[in-house]
Amino acid sequence: MDLVSIFSFSPWMFVSSFLVLFVLIWILTYAVEGLRAMESSSRADGSTVFLEDPSSLKKVLCPSIFDPPEKYISLIIPAYNEELRLPGTIDETLSYLQQRASVDKSFSYEVVIVDDGSTDGTVKVAFDYVKKFSVDNVRVIRLGANYGKGAAIRKGMLHARGEILLMLDADGATKITDLGKLENQIKEYAEKEIIKESKISSGSITKICNISVAAFGSRAHLEKQAIATRKWYRNILMKGFHLCVLLVAGAGVKDTQCGFKMFTRAAARRLFINMRLKRWCFDVELVYLCKRINIPIIEISVTWTEIPGSKVRMTSIIYMLLELVLVRLGYGLHIWKIHN
């Protein structure tokens, strides 16, 4: 075979190359349109929300993250078909909060349960707690459909009243008493920043809620034990996922996926108006945003127990990787704007 025949470009090769190029352009166009749709959707998610008070059957206007704080702390719990696991978590959480409130009269709290379109008795369970503890202390926001854990947490954060805000899982995998660890680190950092600001602008009064800082619960100290108990292929997949997270969000946070994260009101305001992902990798997007808008992240080891009934499957890894790609494309192509 001579060189001419080797490098000749047949009509079939031309057509196939054209088809491949056409498919790639179509996929890219489709992805860009999807990213733009997510951008538009994120702007609409901050609309007015009403709460249902099951005691009075009246609708209560939900405040905005842009309003002044009315409580010391807000706890946001996303719930999707958590009829069985939610009561244990809420009981433990409210017991802890009530005990603190009885000791410290200045301590005020709210628990915001965000129902992510549950089809079981989750809403009834949640409303039972509203009736028992009043709509001022326990609130239920209903999304109306299953949008994803990220969407539920975002909605709760955008309509919470706390100076500091904590997201935690409905399964109670992390001990609620570890709240104090994150709280202390946030207060320590914020107080240092307040001292700095007071030296620069004498006479001004800065509150902790106006300092942007986040504290992430971490299970990194349990990694060796997890590797020893997981099957080999799960370890390979998880290592691959962690590598992808590193490429997208960068280094600095060992455990991005722990569902126990605390934010000052200023940090929550800046982060959650910009968050677009609604399901699997919203935690990674939060890390990415923290780095982009210079919000410090303090990572703190927490007590964690694996609770049966997890909704994460191995096939979820595929969706997670796709969402990581969306983060890179959305912000890299400047389709997703970072709003102040």
pLDDT category of residue 227 using cuts at 50, 70 and 90: very low
Distance CA 307, CA 304 (A): 9
The total number of structural domains that make up the chain = 1
Query: Burial code of 251-288, b = ≥16 C-beta within 10 A, e = fewer?
Result: eebebbbbbbbbbbbbbbbbbbbbbbbbbbbbbbbbbb
DSSP for 106-125, please give it.
T--EEEEEEE-S-SSSHHHH
Determine, yes or no, domain membership for 2.
Answer: no
**Residue that the structure tokens 């990694």 belong to:** 223
For residue range 76-93, what is the model confidence (pLDDT) as tens digits?
999 999 999 999 999 999
Determine, yes or no, domain membership for 73.
Answer: yes
For residue range 232-271, what is the model confidence (pLDDT) as tens digits?
455 566 666 667 777 777 777 888 888 899 999 999 999 9
Determine, yes or no, domain membership for 40.
Answer: no
pLDDT category of residue 279 using cuts at 50, 70 and 90: confident
Question: In a 10 Å sphere around its CB, with 0-12 CB exposed, 13-18 middle and 19+ buried, how is residue 127 labelled?
Answer: buried
Determine, yes or no, domain membership for 15.
Answer: no
For residue range 284-329, what is the model confidence (pLDDT) as tens digits?
999 999 999 999 999 999 988 877 666 556 666 778 888 888 888 8
Predicted pLDDT of residue 324: 87
Two tokens at 94?
């409210």
pLDDT category of residue 228 using cuts at 50, 70 and 90: very low
Query: Burial code of 206-218, b = ≥16 C-beta within 10 A, e = fewer?
Result: bebbbbbbbbbbb
Predicted pLDDT of residue 53: 79
The domain of 295 spans 50-332
| Mean pLDDT of all residues belonging to the chain | 83
Two tokens at 193?
């920043």
CATH number of residue 283's parent domain: 3.90.550.10
Predicted pLDDT of residue 133: 94
Two tokens at 84?
């069985």
Determine, yes or no, domain membership for 13.
Answer: no
Phi, psi of 58 (to 5 degrees): -105, 155
E strands in 62-175: 71-79, 109-115, 138-142, 162-167
